[in-house]
Structure 1
Amino acid sequence: MKRRKLAKKEPMLTGWRFRTVCGVILFAFVALFARAAWIQVVSPDRLRQEGDMRSLRTTLTSTTRGMIMDRNGEELAVSVPVQAVWADPKQVHAELSLEKGQAWKALADVLGVPHETLMKRVENPRRRFVYLQRQVTPAVAEYIRRLRLPGVHLRPEERRFYPTGEINAHLVGMTNIDGSGIEGIERGFNEWLTAQAGERQVRKDRTGRIIEDLGVVSEAREANHIQLTIDQRIQALAYRSLKRATEYYRATSASLVMIDVKTGEVLAIVNSPSFNPNNRSQYQSFRARNRAVTDTYEPGSTIKPLIVISALENGVVNADSIVDTSPGWMRLGGKRVSDTRNLGPISVQTVLQRSSNMGMARMALQETPEQLLDTLYRFGLGIDSGMGLVGESTGLVPQRRRWSDIERATLSFGYGITVTPLQLAQSYAVLANGGVRYPLSIVKRSQPPVGEQVVPRQHADAVLHMLESVVGPGGTALKAAIPGYRVAGKTGTSRKAIAGGYGSDYVGLFAGMAPVSNPRLAMVVVMNEPQGDKYYGGDVAAPVFAEVMSGALQLLNIRPDAATQEQFQLAGQEANSVPHT
């Protein structure tokens, strides 16, 4: 049977289905268009913020801490580039970095950290940042970079370096590991030396590459350099001499301060023992203090020239007066004041030359306490120097409603009052400069300072020439003489105070200036608690003065002014035949 062929039926579109599909497509298109318009035109901020959070970054511009230099531009503190090693523990675990056992052992070895300690630092996978080592050298950083440990990164930072080491440690100070000053000039002028990093906004892709620089957020502030008044040549000479003397006399500590009497600039300020500021692992705060400005001492006989000026100014004596020291001792309030022997009637110059306590007491008892204290204040004792050094002490100038005779007498030869080596050096600079006091400075000034006449010039000059005899034949400081130069100064030896009185330890001092014909330099040397038979200022401090002052005069090309060489040969022959104080 023959099948009947069926004719093909043409497909037909149902009208309502077609319209429905077109309507749905049109609605979806309108909805998408409306949503896009809403996001991009009406309310674009949220998505813009989301995008910015994923791509915008703020970068810091590199900054360098300011340098510290001496008066001649020699660098005393500089910043050198180093690297910090840090890890992202989450990345370390996510990328199976710990499976590279040998590389982690090599990292521990190069960092000098035990392998177990290193592993503990990255064991928490929730942490995102941990320091492995700070301030590693560029060579170590390059070695670590070649290890290619996932999760271990490097970031640039700075390390403070002190080329002169322990010579300037107490003055310049040091910074902590984050670059903030913690001692000395570094701390006192921290804000001045610190730079402020600038900020720039950039856009980065997912790999961290910068694809767009959007401009500056905040401007960087450059660090400022500091030029000190210190002369590094004199500073090094002073430190070597002081350190050698400290070890030779087995002193607990020692300090030296040198001042330019014409400007008030501090040319040298050193202490012994010192420390190495480049080795922070051995840092101890008690070794870091600048003893020349923080520690105070009873000045002993070095205060006598100031008391003589007070007596001259108040009409108690004249420069050519005779003071009767007979019988060589006296009792005041149950206490005994005496000289080593009865010097009898002597001139004011001889009172200083032979360091007569009796002569000083006779003069002081004819003055009021107010007159004595006023003179000491005008010389800068009992007040801050204004240099801004960390931990500076003002010393102690006693204030009492009632003064006994023994208190006035002992004040005249340096007991009952405390001063810092810096203050004592300033007072001798005033004396050497004809009674003109300049404000002390440790930072180089742009303008010359203005001095103040604090005591009459004729009295200051008279006492200056009296003090020249202390270093000459018959004086107590023959070891302070410098061949070719006229030197003036005063020795001092004071006993250390203890609870209830004075102990058996001493402080040996020498304060002086040179050249006498036109004084340029004033210097103080303090030897704290020297051990052995020699503890007088003329024995332990005067030789240091002579060595350092001689070198400084030559370094500064200051002309010799001594009359004849024979005077110094004669002084040397009599060095062992004079009393000490």
Structure 2
Amino acid sequence: MIKMPQSNARFTIVSIFFIALFTALGVRIIYLHTAEKTLITAGRRAFGRVKKLRGSIVTADGDIIASSIRGKRVFLRRGEQLTAQEKTLISNLEPNLRWPEKSDSRQLLIRFLSPEDAKMLMRQPVAKKLEFIPAQERIYFDEAVYAPLCGFTNYENAGAAGVEFGYNKELEGGQGEIIEIDATGRLLLSNDPNMLHAGGDSVKLTINGRLQKLLYQEIDSAVGRYNARGGYGIVMEPHTGKILASVMAGPDAANLLKNPLIADAMEPGSTFKIVTIAAALENGVVTPEDKFFCENGTFEFAGIKINDHDPYGWLSASDIIKFSSNIGASKIGSLTGKHALYKTARDFGFGSPTEVKLPGEARGLLKRIDRWDNHSLLYISFGQEIAATPLQMAQSFAVIANGGVLVKPRILDSVIAANGKKAHKSKTEKIRRAISKKTADTVKEMLFQVMEGGTGERARVPGWEICGKTGTAQKFDTKAGKYSEKTYFSSLGGFFPKNDPRFVIFIALDEPQEYYYGGIVGATAFQRTVKAIIDIYGVPPGGSAAAPQRAKKNET
């Protein structure tokens, strides 16, 4: 028997090994190129920060305001360039795409691609040049109706304004994490295997969707009717602080980066007289029957001049509120004194944010008492030299309606966990007693008379007892250094039913044209809002109501 040299045997074994190795690699490459839905790019890996699917924002009656859907964010890989044909393909998915040049870093092509389009693109040969990172897109419903309240998210899908910002932590459900995926989107490395399928909490608001839409229609109509710069509307429960509707309408409403109902403070004008009369009654310096001479419409005192819209003579304190005499209010304020008026205004919430947990809230303006000049007491008594947001004004009417307690407004009903269970339920927060119940009831009666033959009579609804106060505030012209004779902030606030108030309503128009008295420009929207509430909540005629149930020309 002839033995094969040892070196030849080794050569044969090594040759067989390499032939088998290259055969296996060839088969593997052919498989990767031909297997359905899989490309050689599947071996490529990508990293990206991924968050849970952002939770939804919903109304108390179940309307979805905002929700998110999953998809992909598409990047061009580092050092890759696209052919004209590949660009055409991707342009069909993202028409306004700006094509990046070849770069040492990956380049964003498509911020969000729907699951269907992503699946199609991942099957194309161009996919080997791309990275597909899990992403999500926020979708908003009835944007005009909810935009200032709801807010919006930024590029990273984090809340940037409104409810989106105020409750971002709950909606996100966590900070997210860096994950590793392959080109098909399969999760390779993550601390949370369920990251791509988990969701944040949903936020349920106190807003009644049906009322919100009806109120928006009324404010939008009023803005158009009087060619106003903007319009505001709020409905809230005086005893609980729940905001049932909160809208802003106007040419720029949908594009605002803030919520004017909490961010813009205006001089309220005559609606502030509810605080002036409350302070006087609380401190025992006047009674409703006390009479004051209203100077036949013009009052000059210490170098200043105060005018009324009509030449009133003697008026009782009650009639000063009913007919909205600035001169009468200034005299009541003078008797009350600056310390008592300042304290009452503070107790009503003026000069402090409501802390409604929405971003950008203004505190309004209530000057420290040591900064009042010799005329401040007179001016503040009828709503000048003081400023408040629409929400602060609604909150002040709630003090009268609920018997004298300052209640914190709230927009959150509850937080709903991803599993459908309530994770948190908001509660009523009573901040302090602002005035006695006796004082509140006395002012309530005065405000009822405003609607029954006073400056608010255009807004009354026959059969229902409604309380209210009108306001027409001249806006201060900073360039001229004086109050304008052409621009006004006009409002009408109130509540009903009189004997058991369940709903506070505040309506305002910024710079209405031609007509500008609050009792005129705010009347229709106020009246129709009352009727909408009656229909939605089933409020019976008269001055009382059971607890709300789910739906079933010369005036100041």
- Secondary structure, aligned partner of 1:261: coil
CA 1:304–1:131: 2 relative to 1, 3 Å: same
Partner of 2:396: 427
Q: CA deviation at 1:153?
A: 4.2
Of 453, 460, 465, the match for 1:486: 465
* 1:375 and 2:344 matched: yes
Query: Where do 1:62-101 residues align within 5 Å?
Result: 63-90=52-79, 92=80, 98=83, 101=84
Q: Determine if contact 2:455/2:519 at 8 Å carries over to the other structure.
A: yes
- Secondary structure, aligned partner of 2:353: coil
* 1:174 and 2:152 matched: yes
In our comparison, the structure showing a higher alpha carbon Rg is: 1
- Secondary structure, aligned partner of 2:451: coil
Q: Determine if contact 1:185/1:389 at 8 Å carries over to the other structure.
A: yes
Q: CA deviation at 1:171?
A: 0.7
Ranges in structure 1 where 5+ consecutive residues have no aligned partner: 1-20, 22-53, 278-283, 564-575
CA deviation digits over 1:529-562, x for unaligned, max 9?
Answer: 112x211111111221111122023211222216
Q: CA deviation at 1:177?
A: 2.6
* 1:561 and 2:542 matched: yes
Partners of 1:209 and 1:434 in 2: how far apart? Answer: 60
CA deviation digits over 1:501-528, x for unaligned, max 9?
Answer: 1122111111111111211111111111
Of 129, 141, 152, the match for 2:118: 141
Report the residue type matching 2:90 in the other structure.
Answer: L
Report the residue type matching 1:441 in the other structure.
Answer: R
Partner of 2:448: 468
CA 1:84–1:354: 2 relative to 1, 3 Å: same
CA deviation digits over 1:101-155, x for unaligned, max 9?
Answer: 43432322432046xx43xx2x42x535211111123343344345431413433
Partner of 1:399: 368
- Secondary structure, aligned partner of 2:435: coil
Partners of 1:231 and 1:435 in 2: how far apart? Answer: 26
Q: CA deviation at 1:310?
A: 0.6
Of 238, 250, 255, the match for 2:227: 250
Query: Where do 1:80-479 residues align within 5 Å?
Result: 80-90=69-79, 92=80, 98=83, 101-113=84-96, 117-118=98-99, 121=100, 123-124=101-102, 127-149=104-126, 150-196=128-174, 216=191, 223-273=200-250, 284=255, 287-401=256-370, 403-444=372-413, 446=425, 448-451=427-430, 452-473=432-453, 475-479=454-458
- Counting matched residue pairs gives 493
- Secondary structure, aligned partner of 2:387: coil
Q: What TM-score comes out, normalization by structure 2 length? A: 0.81
CA 1:366–1:250: 2 relative to 1, 3 Å: same
Partners of 2:179 and 2:139 in 1: how far apart? Answer: 32
- Secondary structure, aligned partner of 1:495: strand
Q: Determine if contact 2:132/2:184 at 8 Å carries over to the other structure.
A: no
Q: Determine if contact 1:299/1:494 at 8 Å carries over to the other structure.
A: yes
CA deviation digits over 1:445-496, x for unaligned, max 9?
Answer: 62642534320111111111111111112x1122211233111111111111
CA 1:59–1:84: 2 relative to 1, 3 Å: closer
Q: Determine if contact 1:69/1:226 at 8 Å carries over to the other structure.
A: yes
Q: CA deviation at 1:402?
A: 6.4
Q: Determine if contact 2:228/2:250 at 8 Å carries over to the other structure.
A: no
Partners of 1:66 and 1:262 in 2: how far apart? Answer: 30
Q: CA deviation at 1:394?
A: 0.6
Report the residue type matching 1:71 in the other structure.
Answer: A
Q: Determine if contact 1:439/1:449 at 8 Å carries over to the other structure.
A: yes
CA deviation digits over 1:58-79, x for unaligned, max 9?
Answer: 8988621122111223221111
Partner of 1:545: 526
Question: Percent of counterpart pairs with the same letter?
Answer: 28
Partner of 1:572: none
Partner of 2:502: 520
CA 1:61–1:165: 2 relative to 1, 3 Å: closer
- Secondary structure, aligned partner of 1:401: helix
CA 1:404–1:257: 2 relative to 1, 3 Å: same
- Secondary structure, aligned partner of 2:321: helix
Q: What TM-score comes out, normalization by structure 1 length? A: 0.78
